[in-house]
């Protein structure tokens, strides 16, 4: 029996936390054998993985709670906060690595046995990438920003580890010990850029920033599944809190529909969205009656009250569907 999405997310995050502890231990062992600053920088970044994994597990547990009196829209924003903490830790780790790498140019230290370190780091890279890919895949499927962030973080850790492995191989071949600091700085810059990008997404989520990709998917779906009684859609807003999708819009229907018939159109609209985005959807639909000018954009056939022939079908777009006014010829 398949787990519910939020329970599956929590289970995966537990795996991420356990993995972070194991891989941190392996990298510390690799640093012990090599005394490499580049490996130490990767190990320090793994401490961030442990902290982020713990925070992520807490946030997913909190986000899965149903809405209550104090949180009428649920607890889904906890995932944005968790992702923000994770990106902040990534930034700190990157800056700390850069500091020690620069310091190593002035106070160099001797390196130990690099071969063991290379093999140990390679093993961590393979495991990190596999789990990161799985987290990102499941996060997108279950609409979990936290899992997507964790997946990207693990994959980023993989890329930085691979760069460090390449640097260690170059050091072993050339004997140039200063390459250790250079590789550490390059890996740290990559980590900092990733942290900034993740922070940008997290802050945008906490500020209810519009998700244009999500809205574009919604608009394409509604154009494809459009019903003749859906004369117009406008003032649409789509926000995701954790695994819950909140959608507000104004739906224009024929003015002569009674309350029950108008509600049936709202239900059809909801069903179309749920089929595509899952059942964790909260819909707030305001129905508007059609006006005389609506006839010119209405494709409904056999309308007994039509006053004007249809002139143009309005194709909904991300730009025009969010406007707070009904569509009409000459205002587009």
**pLDDT digits 0-9 by tens, 75-107:** 556 666 666 777 777 788 778 778 877 877 777
CB distance 288 to 326 below 8 Å:
yes
Same domain, 197 and 217: no
pLDDT value at residue 132: 86
pLDDT number for residue 255:
93
Domain match, 70 and 191 both: yes
* Residues 66, 167 within the same domain: yes
Block means of pLDDT (10 residues each) for the chain, 332 residues, are: 64 81 88 80 74 69 62 59 72 78 74 83 90 84 72 79 82 79 78 77 61 84 91 87 76 93 92 78 87 90 88 89 83 50
What's the pLDDT score for residue 288? 92
Q: Verify that 197 and 218 share a domain, yes or no.
A: no
Q: Which residue among 206, 228, 253 closes a domain?
A: 206
Specify the pLDDT at position 229: 93
202: CB partners within 8 A, 6+ apart: 80, 81, 83, 84, 87, 145, 149
Q: What is the pLDDT of residue 230?
A: 93
Quick check: helix, strand or coil at residue 328? Answer: coil
- Whole-angstrom CA distances from 233 to 40, 68, 118, 172, 227 are 56, 30, 58, 65, 11
Q: Say if 328 falls within a structural domain.
A: no
Global model pTM greater than 0.75 = no
- The CATH number of residue 262's host domain is 3.30.70.1350
| 90, part of any domain | yes
Q: What pLDDT is stored for residue 59 in this prediction? A: 64
109 lies in a domain?
yes
Final residue before a domain boundary, out of 185, 206, 227: 206
Domain CATH number, residue 44:
1.20.1510.10
User: Do 246 and 150 fall into the same domain?
Assistant: no
Same domain, 158 and 302: no
Phi-psi category of residue 74: left, alpha or beta, with phi > 0 → left and psi -120 to 50 → alpha: left
Q: Is 329 a member of any domain? A: no
Whether 201 and 221 map to the same domain: the answer is no
Q: How do 244-253 and 232-241 pair as beta strands?
A: antiparallel
Residue 289 is predicted with a pLDDT of: 93
pLDDT score recorded for residue 1: 46
Do 73 and 143 have their domain in common? Answer: yes
Based on the fold, state whether residues 31 and 143 are members of the same structural domain.
Answer: yes
**What is the spatial order of strands in the sheet that 244-253 belongs to?**
232-241, 244-253, 281-289
- 149, 117: one domain: yes
Note whether 245 and 307 are same-domain residues: yes
Domain that holds residue 26: 5-206
| Domain assignment of residue 331, yes or no | no
Crossing angle, helix 212-224 and helix 259-277, to 10 degrees?
A: 120
**How many domains does the structure of the chain reveal?**
2
Last residue in a domain, options 184, 206, 228: 206
State the virtual CA torsion across 133, 196, 117, 120 in degrees, nearest 10.
-20
Same domain, 36 and 109: yes
């Amino acid at each position: 029996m398949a787990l519910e999405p939020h329970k599956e997310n929590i289970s995966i995050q537990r795996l991420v936390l356990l993995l972070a502890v194991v891989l941190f231990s392996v990298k510390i062992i690799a640093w012990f054998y090599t005394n490499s600053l580049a490996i130490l920088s990767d190990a320090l970044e793994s401490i961030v993985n442990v902290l982020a994994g713990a925070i992520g597990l807490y946030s997913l547990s909190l986000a899965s709670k149903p809405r209550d009196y104090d949180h009428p829209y649920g607890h889904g924003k906890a995932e944005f906060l968790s992702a923000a903490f994770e990106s902040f830790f990534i930034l700190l780790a990157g800056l700390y690595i850069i500091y020690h790498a620069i310091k190593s140019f002035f106070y160099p230290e001797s390196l130990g046995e690099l071969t063991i370190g290379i093999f140990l780091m390679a093993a961590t890279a393979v495991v990190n990438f596999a789990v990161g890919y799985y987290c990102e895949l499941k996060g997108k499927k279950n609409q979990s920003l936290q899992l997507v962030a964790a997946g990207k973080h693990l994959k980023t850790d993989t890329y930085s580890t691979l760069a460090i492995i390449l640097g260690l191989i170059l050091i072993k071949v050339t004997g140039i010990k200063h390459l250790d600091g250079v590789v550490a700085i390059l890996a740290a810059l990559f980590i900092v850029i990733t942290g900034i990008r993740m922070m940008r997404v997290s802050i945008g989520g906490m500020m209810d920033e519009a998700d244009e990709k999500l809205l574009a998917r919604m608009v394409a779906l509604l154009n494809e599944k459009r019903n003749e009684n859906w004369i117009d859609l406008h003032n649409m807003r789509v926000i995701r809190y954790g695994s819950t999708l909140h959608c507000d819009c104004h739906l224009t229907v024929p003015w002569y529909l009674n309350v029950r018939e108008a509600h049936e159109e709202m239900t059809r609209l909801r069903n179309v969205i749920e089929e595509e985005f899952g059942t964790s959807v909260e819909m707030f639909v305001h129905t508007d009656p059609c006006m005389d000018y609506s006839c010119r954009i209405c494709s409904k056939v056999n309308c007994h009250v039509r006053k004007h022939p249809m002139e143009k079908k309005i194709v909904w777009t991300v730009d025009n569907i969010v406007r707070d006014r009904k569509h009409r010829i000459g205002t587009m």
